[in-house]
Every structure is written in structure tokens, then in C-alpha cells.
């Protein structure tokens, strides 16, 4: 393997790597704009210029060292771009000497010549590579006295993306993403010199299901999201790591919240799940799932209408109904939309407290959602998890397939539904469910089933609680709460954005709704306790530890280890993948 020295550190790297890759793998960051580890090197921005040389040898071929013991180097006369220069054995690279940095500064000056003074109105500001490097590599004064070139500032490249020609530094990351990753080669440069700009080919539009990733990888604010444009500045939001519930891939994401409302979703690099990307569907679905159409406050149906009640009343009423029927008259539906913890306790309720074997969940399968990149046909995040946590039809039990017939025969008196809307299975089932004596619904959304409920117990969504999903490749992944509910309020204070954290009741800016919803496991635990169990789980973590103790799949797992390794595979809790440097194009620098 070639051995080289970068900034005095001796590194051994695989042949064929470029200097910037070798440096990155070893924790050295060389300034760059156009290089992205997932894209082919293009070498157009010149920000990564470094000084490269070779160790001097004498006429016998022996390496020469100076008096100070350092190697004597014959430097190449011209600087080389680190992103497109392959490493060779014995190479010596310098990226930090005064001379090299001055070269990088000069490149920066060129890049800034025509760059507009847009930071105050630019969505990228605060997480912009150009700003970041301008701080280190620029004098803060322009020597350019002439007029800056004016370009189109609002070009629609696709249904979700707006392009600002002036801010673009022509790094071609977006073009290469469209060509190589999204496989929709519709973007191109047009024009020459300082007039160069990006456009779509005639009669095309950039509408790939992954198009919005270019917004993240654009090193500047040239590409903005139609969905998010101007909604908030990055420093006004809190960002929380989470898992996309859009499909069973479980892309790692970061959720941006302000005023207790989800405003933005971004992919988080996880090389074992989603690489650097996520799909547009997931990105746009997350704010909708969390913000819209939510249930809040428990309700009981009296004389045909749902009335608000206290939690204690609702729990007591539910317990009473569960007690008044025989085990085989009760059917329990877990959910592939709910977390492992929720399903685990629901399975315990069914098996240990109610002793019913009629337990199942509704599958969410699509025929055309999946593709050969990230999206999979299983459109609920946690089917594997629900099954592993114990949601499976028991011996002599009946599943969801026969449910309609059984309801019609009067065999089902109580139906407990977690998260799902029964019309997702079939309209027939939704209709039939009106015929059971008690329809107990634990759900986060006011769906059809919630409207039919006899007792409605509002649950939190993934973004309001801590928990885990198990993705289609059996990877258990951890998510943290990003949004405040009445239930988690005390735990959330320090995690909120500056605005939400310090808002007082008389401040109009801290008016975001805090929903009266509880994690499903907490509600189910209360039901179990009402039925005589002695569970005392204080947090999702306690439930998870119990799972790790009792279910072989989750053995040796814990929240800290899941977080540390970006998820662990079922049954392999003690053999995580090797940890590697993770490239994140879009980082919000700590204030």
C-alpha cells in the first residue's frame, strides 16, 4: 500500500485514492467545494490546491534527510488539486504551510469576485461552506472595483428546487449528482467565463425522486427548497437526529424545529443505510406527519359523540372494557408505524395481561414506491420491528385477514388499534369495525379509525419521543424527541432552539402548539397496571432495556450503543461495523 506524508503525518492508504480522500480518511480536512466522496472528482473549484513533492534521493537512491531529521523534499513547481491527484508511494503533501494557504486564499478571492453580498437573505447562511472558508481564507475586503455580474436569481429547476445564478460557484456538484446518483441527467452548464450558469435541458425538469439532495450538497445557497424557502434561519431551529418514517429503509435524518413546528428535514450520513441521501417523499412527509392532522387530548364516546376527558378517566374506562370481555373476544392490532417499544408493550398487554392470541398488525405494502436506490416497497418504518417485538398471531388466534368476517359473526367485542387507520387495510374492515362493542384507538392522527373510536388515546409520533425502529435490513435505529408535547415538556427544555427555550408566556413567538399526547408504551403500561401488572418503566430506555433482556434479537443493545454505531443489526448487538470518518456536506457550526 502506498505510504505518503500529509502535513507531517505518515499515512498508509489504498492505491487509487486521491490525496483528499487519503486525508479525509485520516481526519485531515483539506478545503474543498466541488469534491464530494459520492461523486466523481471534477477538479473545477481549485479550492483544494496543495503543495506536492517527492522525497529527495541521492545518486545511490538513498533517501536524503535535512539536518533537522526531516526529509528533504523536491516540491513540484505547480500546486496540485488534492481531489484529483492520486496518491503515490513516497508522496509528500503540504496543505497547511503559509505558501499553500496563500494559494487557497487566492482561489477564494477569485470565487468571491462575483459572489453577491446575499448572506443576510440566503437560506444557506450559517451552514455555508463559502462563508466558512471566507472566515479562514479571505481578507474580508474585495479588490474588485467593477460591477459584479448579474444573473437570474429565481430559476425553477424542478418542482422542489429554485436556483439562484449569482450565488452559484459552478462547482458542478448538482450536475454530477443528477447524472451519477439520481440518474436523471438533465442539468448542465451554459455560457462561458463569468457568465456560466446552470440550466435544465430544453423540455426537461429536474424532478427525480431524489432531486432535493442537491440542496444539501450545494456548497453555497444557490439551490433552495421550494418547501422551506425563507421559513427560518438555520440558527433559529434546533436540529435533532432521527429516522425517516417514510418507508422501511429508515434513512437517517435531522429534524429542524422552531416554535415547536417541524420546518425542515435533512439527511444524515449513514453509510450502512442511506449513504448521504434521502428521498424527496420522506423529506416532505416528515413535517406533514408531525405538524398536521394530529390528535390531542383523550376522548370517550358518549351518546354517539367523542367527548374530551382526563387521562385517568380514559385509562380507567379502557381498563374496565378490557376486563369485561373474554380474552378470545378481544383482538389487538399492533402497528408497523409504531416503535419497537410501543409494540413490545402492546404484545405484553395481549399475551401476559389479556391472554389473547388474536394479535396482528396491518402491512403497508406498495407496488411502486420502491426503487433501486433507497426507497423500498414496505412503506411503514417498522414492520420487522413490530414482528420481532412480538406482534404475531398466536396459536389458535386470528389475524387481521379474518377480522371482517369475525366482526360480522360477532366474535370480536373489543378491538384495540395502535396507530393504523383501518381503511389502510380495507374499506370493508373500516366499515365493519363500527360494529364492535369497544373500539379502542391509540393513534397520533385524526384518521378514519380515530373518528370511529369508542375511546381515543392520542399517541406521540416518532419526533416527539425517544424510541427505535427496525428497518427492512433488520437494523435497529434510535430516534430522539425533537418536538415538545405536554408529556415530555420537562425533558425537552435544553434541547429546544434558543427561541423555544427562552420564550415566556407573554412572548408571542413561543406560541407553538404542545400536544396532549403520550408515547403509546406509556399508555399501554398504564392499561397493564390497571389490569394488575406491576410494570414500572420510567422511560423508553427502560422498555428497550427490558426488550434487550428478554428478546434475543435485541440482545446486547442499548440506546447509547445504538447511537454510537448509528444502529445495530438484530441479533448482532455486540458486533457493530467498523467506525469510519463520516462525511457530512452540510454542517451547522456550533455558535
Binding stretches for ligand SF4 (CB under 6 A): 115, 118-119, 122, 124-125, 128, 130-131, 167-174, 198, 218-223, 244, 246-247, 249-251, 274, 278-279, 281-282, 374-375
Query: Could you tell which of ligand SF4, other proteins, ligand FES, none binds residue 279, using a CB distance below 5 to 8 A set by kind?
Result: ligand SF4
Nearest approach, Cβ of residue 222 and other proteins (Å): 14
| 3-class DSSP state of 199 | strand
Cα–Cα separations (whole angstroms), residue 24 to 93, 172, 363, 496: 13, 21, 42, 32
Tell how strand 330-335 and strand 359-362 pair up.
parallel
Binding status of residue 48 toward ligand FES by CB under 6 A: yes
Query: Could you tell which of ligand SF4, ligand FES, other proteins, none binds residue 450, using a CB distance below 5 to 8 A set by kind?
Result: none
Based on CB atoms, which residue is closest to other proteins, 228 or 544?
228
In 3D space, the residue among 553, 202, 548, 212 whose CA is nearest the CA of residue 384 turns out to be 553
Based on CB atoms, which residue is closest to ligand FES, 79 or 151?
79
Query: Could you tell which of ligand SF4, ligand FES, other proteins, none binds residue 120, using a CB distance below 5 to 8 A set by kind?
Result: other proteins
Nearest approach, Cβ of residue 169 and ligand SF4 (Å): 5
Q: Give the footprint of other proteins on residues 233-272 (CB under 8 A).
A: 233, 235-236
Q: Which of 81, 108, 218, 440 binds ligand FES (CB under 6 A)?
A: 81
Binding status of residue 174 toward ligand FES by CB under 6 A: no
Binding status of residue 492 toward ligand FES by CB under 6 A: no
Burial letters 200-234, b for 16+ CB under 10 A, else e: beeeeebbbbbbbbbbbbbbbbbbbbebbeebbeb
Based on CB atoms, which residue is closest to ligand FES, 171 or 455?
171
d(CA 449, CA 424): 10
The phi, psi pair for 492, rounded to 5°, reads -90, -20
Nearest approach, Cβ of residue 504 and other proteins (Å): 9
Based on CB atoms, which residue is closest to ligand FES, 33 or 499?
33
Binding status of residue 442 toward ligand FES by CB under 6 A: no
Binding status of residue 45 toward ligand FES by CB under 6 A: yes
In 3D space, the residue among 13, 47, 23, 371 whose CA is nearest the CA of residue 219 turns out to be 47
Nearest approach, Cβ of residue 197 and other proteins (Å): 18
Cell readout for 349 is 398487554
DSSP secondary structure, 331-348, as one string: EEEEETTS-HHHHHHHHH
Query: Could you tell which of other proteins, ligand SF4, ligand FES, none binds residue 385, using a CB distance below 5 to 8 A set by kind?
Result: none
Q: Which of 13, 22, 50, 83 binds ligand FES (CB under 6 A)?
A: 83
In 3D space, the residue among 360, 349, 344 whose CA is nearest the CA of residue 467 turns out to be 344
Query: Could you tell which of ligand FES, ligand SF4, other proteins, none binds residue 83, using a CB distance below 5 to 8 A set by kind?
Result: ligand FES
The phi, psi pair for 459, rounded to 5°, reads -110, 160
d(CA 574, CA 576): 6
**Inter-residue contact 512 to 237 (CB < 8 Å):** no
Site size for other proteins, by CB under 8 A? Answer: 21
Composition of the chain by helix, strand, coil, percent to 5: 30, 20, 50
Among 55-63, 232-240, 341-349, 437-445, the segment contacting other proteins (CB under 8 A): 232-240
Q: Which of 11, 13, 22, 33 binds ligand FES (CB under 6 A)?
A: 33
Query: Could you tell which of ligand SF4, ligand FES, other proteins, none binds residue 153, using a CB distance below 5 to 8 A set by kind?
Result: other proteins
**DSSP for residue 327:** G
Binding status of residue 229 toward other proteins by CB under 8 A: yes
**Inter-residue contact 124 to 191 (CB < 8 Å):** no
The phi, psi pair for 169, rounded to 5°, reads -105, 15
d(CA 568, CA 350): 28
Among 37-45, 142-150, 312-320, 479-487, the segment contacting ligand FES (CB under 6 A): 37-45
Nearest approach, Cβ of residue 114 and ligand SF4 (Å): 11
Binding status of residue 583 toward other proteins by CB under 8 A: no
Nearest approach, Cβ of residue 528 and ligand SF4 (Å): 32
Cell readout for 52 is 506536492
**Which residues contact residue 514 at a Cβ distance below 8 angstroms, ignoring those fewer than 6 apart?**
260, 484, 485, 486, 489
d(CA 572, CA 588): 33
Angle between helices 520-530 and 311-323 (to 10 degrees): 60
> Which residues make up the interface to other proteins (CB under 8 A)?
117, 119-121, 125, 153-154, 229-231, 233, 235-236, 498-499, 502-503, 506-509
> Which residues make up the interface to ligand FES (CB under 6 A)?
32-35, 43-48, 81, 83
Amino acid at each position: 500500500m502506498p505510504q505518503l506524508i500529509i502535513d507531517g503525518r505518515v499515512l498508509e492508504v489504498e492505491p487509487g485514492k486521491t490525496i483528499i480522500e487519503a486525508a479525509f480518511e485520516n481526519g485531515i480536512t483539506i478545503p474543498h467545494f466541488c469534491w464530494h466522496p459520492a461523486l466523481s472528482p471534477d477538479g473545477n473549484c481549485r479550492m483544494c490546491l496543495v503543495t506536492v513533492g517527492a522525497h529527495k534521493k541521492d545518486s545511490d537512491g538513498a533517501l536524503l534527510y535535512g539536518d533537522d531529521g526531516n526529509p528533504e523534499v523536491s516540491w513540484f513547481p505547480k500546486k496540485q488539486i488534492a481531489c484529483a491527484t492520486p496518491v503515490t508511494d513516497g508522496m509528500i503533501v503540504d496543505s497547511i504551510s503559509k505558501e499553500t494557504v496563500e494559494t487557497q486564499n487566492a482561489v477564494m478571492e477569485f470565487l468571491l469576485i462575483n459572489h453577491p453580498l446575499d448572506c443576510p437573505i440566503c437560506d444557506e447562511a450559517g451552514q455555508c461552506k463559502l462563508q466558512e472558508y471566507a472566515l479562514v481564507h479571505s481578507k474580508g475586503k474585495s479588490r474588485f472595483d467593477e460591477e459584479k455580474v448579474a444573473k437570474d436569481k429565481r430559476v425553477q429547476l424542478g418542482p422542489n428546487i429554485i436556483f439562484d445564478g449569482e450565488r452559484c460557484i459552478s462547482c458542478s456538484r448538482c450536475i454530477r449528482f443528477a447524472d451519477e446518483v439520481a440518474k436523471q441527467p438533465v442539468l448542465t452548464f451554459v455560457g462561458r467565463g463569468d457568465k456560466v450558469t446552470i440550466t435544465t435541458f430544453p423540455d426537461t425538469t429536474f424532478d427525480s425522486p431524489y432531486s432535493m439532495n442537491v440542496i444539501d450538497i450545494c456548497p453555497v445557497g444557490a439551490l433552495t427548497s421550494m418547501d422551506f424557502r425563507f421559513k427560518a434561519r438555520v440558527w433559529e431551529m434546533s436540529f435533532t437526529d432521527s429516522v425517516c418514517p417514510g418507508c422501511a429503509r429508515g434513512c437517517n435524518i435531522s429534524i429542524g424545529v422552531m416554535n415547536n413546528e417541524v420546518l425542515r428535514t435533512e439527511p444524515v450520513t449513514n453509510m450502512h443505510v442511506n449513504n448521504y441521501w434521502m428521498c424527496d417523499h420522506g423529506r416532505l412527509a416528515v413535517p406533514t406527519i408531525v405538524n398536521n392532522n394530529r390528535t390531542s387530548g383523550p376522548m370517550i364516546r358518549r351518546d354517539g359523540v367523542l367527548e374530551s376527558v382526563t387521562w385517568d378517566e380514559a385509562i380507567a374506562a379502557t381498563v374496565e372494557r378490557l376486563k369485561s370481555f373474554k380474552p378470545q373476544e378481544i383482538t389487538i392490532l399492533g402497528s408497523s408505524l409504531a416503535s419497537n417499544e410501543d409494540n413490545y408493550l402492546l404484545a405484553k398487554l395481549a399475551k401476559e395481561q389479556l391472554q389473547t392470541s388474536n394479535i396482528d398488525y396491518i402491512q403497508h405494502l406498495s407496488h411502486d414506491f420502491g426503487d433501486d436506490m433507497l426507497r423500498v416497497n414496505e412503506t411503514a418504518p417498522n414492520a420487522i420491528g413490530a414482528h420481532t417485538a412480538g406482534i404475531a398471531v398466536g396459536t389458535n388466534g386470528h389475524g387481521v385477514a379474518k377480522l371482517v368476517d369475525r366482526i360480522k359473526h360477532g366474535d370480536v367485542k373489543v378491538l384495540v388499534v395502535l396507530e393504523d387507520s383501518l381503511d389502510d387495510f380495507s374499506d370493508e374492515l373500516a366499515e365493519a369495525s363500527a360494529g364492535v362493542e369497544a373500539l379502542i384507538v391509540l393513534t397520533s392522527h385524526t384518521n378514519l379509525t380515530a373518528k370511529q373510536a369508542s375511546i381515543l388515546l392520542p399517541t406521540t409520533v416518532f419526533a416527539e419521543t425517544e424510541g427505535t425502529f427496525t428497518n427492512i435490513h433488520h437494523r435497529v435505529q434510535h430516534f430522539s424527541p425533537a418536538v415538545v408535547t405536554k408529556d415530555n415538556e420537562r425533558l425537552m427544555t435544553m434541547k429546544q432552539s434558543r427561541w423555544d427555550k427562552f420564550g415566556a408566556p407573554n412572548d408571542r413567538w413561543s406560541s407553538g402548539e404542545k400536544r396532549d399526547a403520550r408515547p403509546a408504551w406509556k399508555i399501554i403500561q398504564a392499561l397493564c397496571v390497571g389490569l394488575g401488572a406491576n410494570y414500572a418503566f420510567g422511560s423508553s430506555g427502560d422498555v428497550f432495556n427490558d426488550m434487550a433482556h428478554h428478546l434475543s434479537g435485541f440482545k446486547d443493545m442499548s440506546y447509547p450503543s445504538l447511537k454510537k454505531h448509528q444502529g445495530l443489526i438484530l441479533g448482532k448487538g455486540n458486533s457493530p461495523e467498523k467506525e469510519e470518518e463520516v462525511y457530512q456536506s452540510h454542517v451547522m457550526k456550533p455558535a
